[in-house]
Amino acid sequence: MHRIALLPGDGIGPEVMTEARATLDAAAARFGFDVAIESYEAGAAHYLRTGRPIDDGVLDELGSFDAILVGPFGDPQVPDAPVLWGTILAMRQRFDQYVNLRPARLLPGIDGPLRTAAEQGLDVVVVRENTEGEYGGVGGRVHRGRETEVAIETSVFTRAGIERIVRYAFEYARDHGRSRVTSATKSNALRHAMPFWDEVVEEVAGEFAGIEWEHALIDALVARVVTRPGSLDVIVASNLFGDIVTDLTAAAAGSLGVGPSANLDPSRRHPSLFQAIHGSAPDIAGRGVANPIGEILSVALMLEFLGEPDAARAIEAAVDRTTADPAKRTRDLGGDATTASVGEAIRASLPG
């Protein structure tokens, strides 16, 4: 029995989550495992109703689950910071989900916007540090509203934090048959944190003789996603750099709507969290046109982590069969299929 907490989120979240949950239920029935799902309200809409992004005590309750499946958070009526720091960022830090795993690949039938990706192929996994770095939350503002107002945002890098994310990236490459790890850095300008990052990368890389590795300045790296995507395999990056480069890799794969992610505590002391990388898209919410693939592929990542690899591979294969049919693509992929019809097509493609 896998106990799953479900937070549908805002905007298109409930729509894509409906298809993700139905796909999870279908996979459970077909592969013979049980899931118990409990839903919670959280996000910007909840903030507008209650003044809080999530109810008191819910984070404590979430800690008892095996995994957390989450939709996007956000609404133009609410500042992003209190919602994100009260929900997704709070969960990442509380549950020590220090690995943010974000794979991006060209799905069958989807060429993507880049000629280079169509020619060379695109199959990149970004391993992003998830609990410190530029999103450590350390800093503040003083003298608000005055000419002397100051804002300080401090990036926090620890040896333990860098070492464990870099080691995870190399272990992931080794265990998944990938040959190269590229470390995103900016040590020519950030003269304290990034040389420290580089030094730890070199130390850890020495433990993995069979894996090629390299440093790449973040600006050159994002250019390389465009010009030479086939040269990239596994990327390990700090919190901010990983956030930026994964929007680009997802866009290069055809749409942010197809991008899944996993927020992992590899020790399994706490629940891990799974979520599509796209936003809440309030402009199309309620219209039934959102792409559910990112959330459904996040279910596949969740099942793999929970020890159901056959079900995970089956969902991924069903997604591939679905995108290969032009009639089963949502508008972000050049089609006119609905959210529900894409979800139904994926479930129909699961093995019986």
By C-alpha distance, which of 92, 101, 141, 40 is closest to 259? 101
Identify the pLDDT of residue 351: 83
Percent of the chain with pLDDT over 90: 94
Region of 63 (left: φ > 0; alpha: ψ -120 to 50; beta: rest) is: alpha
CB-based contact 297:18 (threshold 8 Å)? no
Identify the pLDDT of residue 219: 96
Find the helix or strand (DSSP H, E) in which 343 lies.
helix 339-348
Residue 44 pLDDT grade (very low, low, confident, very high; cuts 50, 70, 90): very high
Q: Is the pLDDT of residue 225 over 90?
A: yes
Q: Is the pLDDT of residue 212 over 90?
A: yes
Residue 135 pLDDT grade (very low, low, confident, very high; cuts 50, 70, 90): confident
Residue type present at position 116: T
Identify the pLDDT of residue 334: 92
Q: Which domains, from first to last, does the chain contain?
A: 1-98+263-352 (3.40.718.10), 111-252 (3.40.718.10)
Residue 111 pLDDT grade (very low, low, confident, very high; cuts 50, 70, 90): confident
Q: What is the mean pLDDT of the chain?
A: 95
Alpha helices (runs of H) in 176-238, residue ranges in sequence order:
193-205, 218-227
Q: How far is CA 311 from CA 53, 276, 297, in A?
A: 33, 18, 11
Model pTM score: 0.94
Identify the pLDDT of residue 182: 98
Instruction: Let me know if 240 is exposed, middle or buried by CB neighbors in 10 A (0-12, 13-18, 19+).
Output: middle
Produce one character per residue of 219-237: b if its CB has 16 or more CB atoms within 10 Å, e if not.
Answer: eebbebbeeebeebbbbbb
3-state helix, strand, coil in the chain (%, to 5): 45, 20, 35
